[in-house]
Amino acid sequence: MKRYLAILLVLCSLLSLAACGTEPAVTSDAPEATDAAVTDSGLDPNTPAWTTDTSAIELEWFVGASWYPYTWGDSLSTQNITEKTGVDIEIITPTGDVSEELNLMMISGTLPDLITLGSWENCFSTLYEQGYTWALNELADQYDPYFYNVVDSSVVAWHTKSDGNLYCVPNDAYGAEQMAETGMTAAVQTFLVRKDLYEDMGSPDMSTPEGFLEALRLLKSDFSTYKGETITPFYAQGGSGYGLTDYLQNFLAVPYEDEDGNIYDRVTDPDYIEWLKVLRQAYEEGLIGIDYLVDSDDQVTEKSNNGRYFCMLREWSGMQEANGILANSENPDSYYIAIDGPANSDGDAPLIFPGSLDGWMCTFISKDCENPERAIAFLTYMLSEEGQMDMFLGVEGETYEVVDGVPQLTDEMIDLMNNDAETFATQYGLVDTYWMLRNSVIVDQWRPESPYYITEMSDWADENAYVDGGIYNNLEPTGDSDAAVAATRIDQRWQEVVPELITAESEEEFDSILEAFLADRDSYGYDLVVEYEQELLDARKALFD
């Protein structure tokens, strides 16, 4: 009897389990109570909806960054925003893997109202492709046409999916024109050297293979220990997957497409291969190691904070903390500065990667949201100049004042920001604390100036940024399509091959390893990847013609 009962129990549960995939509205039909009349008569496209309804409401906001430490409601800026709009926010951050947690929320139908997520997360496309989020254009048409006044049309065009809908808005999106206009490019790729050491060596030119090797030889013979530190000659950020691939290719001005508009195979570019051989040569002579492929993040931080690296292919943004420490140490000149790095045989200017219309993270409104009209109104507010100001500068007279028509943070605020960033963020919550919908184009005009040890790195990147390069950002297929799987395999294989190339005992061995890789690459389905990228690139170009 018990046995039957148990079997029955199991069967019942099986059935219920099988039936309970979730049932999101896969069709992206407009929200309930679709009523064209409302749109036509009730809403004035010049009045933002957040000003008409400021009743108290709470929204959950998922920020897809496990490290995001701030909450809503304790700081001055968030209290001000809640007071103005009536919207109180509960910020939720993932504890473990972002995609894993969002997948579970999708399955259980408990998605938070607002979702901010990086496009590199593998559940990013699931959110809109499988119907878990609202099309923002539909919400805007129905509830808040003012939305179109606060989003840049090029951003809308860039992020509109093939079904004609806009599902999310990015933060930190940069258009080429804006970058050219403002000179702020969000470019971060630099070639850094330790200032005092580099100058003591006579500031050698390191942009040619010979110059690079000579400098390293000089370092080995005369400066292997410097001011009490054992010097590590070279570092490449992200190791073989980034620093020695895209990053180095950008310095060598390797193009993304040939003259005919076909996707260019950047890996087989002669200049790039030559520089990999230079690194191999340097390794053979004992001028560099492969520690940058092996070290943990803690070790890299330790070496940077002590000024143990000589030169680095490294994003300057990651060196802000270290440079601060070094500039305030007993050797105030031991911080890192940007110089001209490896260049191709023609001496072309590098194509340093700029910010792009992709932005950093994107914000969605989920279909589990019970008040999409308030969510879209809130989004509109945050994206507007007024919202940006409230978020970045706070309250006039209290945290910022207008001098000669230009709003700027008060001196006390700047002081607090530079000396006690933690208190600044938790009590006032200004500047970059709530970056989820930050529009850099707007806020950069209010940004206080950085110290010299930062600008000496960032200015170089801004000057050398390839402002038209945004179109090539994120061309690689993602998700679980065949092309994406092929791309992942090729990418992971390449990460293993680079160390083999650099530690190869001779140029012949180097060549044969590279040849074997290229054969592997074809067998993994390189043509699928190229096909995908070509299609995407052509579509993007069409968008801007």
Partner 1 sequence: MRTHTKKTAFDYIIIVILLAVCFACIYPMWYIGVNSFAAPEVANRGASAWWPSALSLDAYKVVFENEYILSGFKITILRTVVATITHVLFTSMVAYAMSRPGLIGKKVYMKIAMITMFFNGGLIPNFILMIKLGLYDSFWVYILPGMFTFYNMVIFMSFFRTIPESLIESARLDGASEFRIYWSIVLPNSRPVIATIGLFTAVYHWNDYYQGIVYVRDKALEPLQTILYKLLAETSMTSAQQQAMLALGGETTSATVKFAAMVVGSLPIICLYPFIQKHLVKGVMLGAIKG
Partner 2 sequence: MRTQEARIKPRLSERLSRTGKEFWKQRQLQAMVWPGIIWMAVFSYIPLVFLYIAFTDYRISVPLFENDFVGLKHFIAFLTDDRFWRAVYNTLGLSLLRITIGFCIPIILALLLNELRCERFKKIVQTVSYLPHFISWAIFGGILLSWMSESGIFNQLAISLGLQDKAILYNGDPDNFWMIAFLSDTLKEMGWNAIIYLAAITSIDPELYEAAELDGAGRFQRMWHITIQCIRPTIALLFILAVSGCLSSNFDQVFFLSNSANMSRSETLDLYIYNMGIVSGRFSFSTAVLFFRSIISYALLRLCNFTSVKLTGESII
Residues in the site for partner 1, rule: CB under 8 A?
Answer: 13, 16-17, 20, 65-67, 93, 95-98, 100-101, 103-104, 107-108, 110, 118, 120, 188, 238, 241-242, 297-298, 301-302, 305-306, 315, 317-318, 320-321, 325, 360-361, 432, 435
From the number of C-beta atoms within 10 Å of its C-beta (0-12, 13-18, 19+), residue 273 rates as middle
As a whole number of angstroms, the distance between CA 375 and CA 113 comes to 7
Site stretch for partner 2 (CB under 8 A), options 211-219, 284-292, 405-413, 415-423: 284-292
> What is the closest distance, in whole angstroms, from the C-beta atom of residue 471 to partner 2 in the complex?
24
As a whole number of angstroms, the distance between CA 115 and CA 134 comes to 11
As a whole number of angstroms, the distance between CA 252 and CA 273 comes to 10
> What is the closest distance, in whole angstroms, from the C-beta atom of residue 92 to partner 1 in the complex?
8
- Dihedral pair phi/psi, residue 361, rounded to 5°: -120, 160
What are the structure tokens assigned to 510, written together?
A: 């180097």
- Binders of partner 2 among 126-145, rule CB under 8 A? 126, 130-132
Residue 502 contacts residue 283 (beta carbons within 8 Å): yes
Distance of CA 443 to the CA centre of its chain: 18
Neighbours of 464 (CB within 10 A): 22
Q: Which is nearer to partner 2, 251 or 524 (CB)?
A: 524
> What is the closest distance, in whole angstroms, from the C-beta atom of residue 45 to partner 2 in the complex?
34
Binding partner of residue 67 among partner 1, partner 2, none, CB cut-off 5 to 8 Å per kind: partner 1
> What is the closest distance, in whole angstroms, from the C-beta atom of residue 379 to partner 1 in the complex?
21
Q: Which is nearer to partner 1, 149 or 301 (CB)?
A: 301
Binding flags for partner 2, 16-45, as an x/- string (CB under 8 A): -xxxxxxxx-x-------------------
Q: What is the 3-state secondary structure (H, E, C) of 175-192?
A: CHHHHHHHCCCCCCEEEE
Binding flags for partner 2, 216-255, as an x/- string (CB under 8 A): --------------x--------xxx--------------
From the number of C-beta atoms within 10 Å of its C-beta (0-12, 13-18, 19+), residue 500 rates as middle
What are the structure tokens assigned to 524, written together?
A: 């993994």
Binding partner of residue 315 among partner 2, partner 1, none, CB cut-off 5 to 8 Å per kind: partner 1
> DSSP H helical segments within 133-224, as ranges?
136-143, 147-150, 153-159, 176-182, 195-200, 209-222
Q: Is 295 in the site for partner 2 (CB under 8 A)?
A: yes
Q: Which is nearer to partner 2, 459 or 491 (CB)?
A: 491
As a whole number of angstroms, the distance between CA 184 and CA 441 comes to 8
As a whole number of angstroms, the distance between CA 482 and CA 95 comes to 30
Binding partner of residue 410 among partner 2, partner 1, none, CB cut-off 5 to 8 Å per kind: none
Binding partner of residue 65 among partner 2, partner 1, none, CB cut-off 5 to 8 Å per kind: partner 1
As a whole number of angstroms, the distance between CA 190 and CA 56 comes to 47
Among 107, 157, 516, 539, interactor with partner 2 by CB under 8 A: 107
> What is the closest distance, in whole angstroms, from the C-beta atom of residue 308 to partner 1 in the complex?
10
Q: Which is nearer to partner 2, 93 or 232 (CB)?
A: 232
Binding partner of residue 498 among partner 2, partner 1, none, CB cut-off 5 to 8 Å per kind: partner 2
> What is the closest distance, in whole angstroms, from the C-beta atom of residue 238 to partner 2 in the complex?
10
As a whole number of angstroms, the distance between CA 423 and CA 207 comes to 43
As a whole number of angstroms, the distance between CA 67 and CA 64 comes to 9
Residue ranges that bind partner 2, judged by CB under 8 A: 2, 6, 9-10, 13-14, 17-24, 26, 99, 103, 106-107, 122-123, 126, 130-132, 230, 239-241, 289-291, 293-296, 298-299, 302, 478-480, 484-485, 488-489, 492, 495-496, 498-499, 503
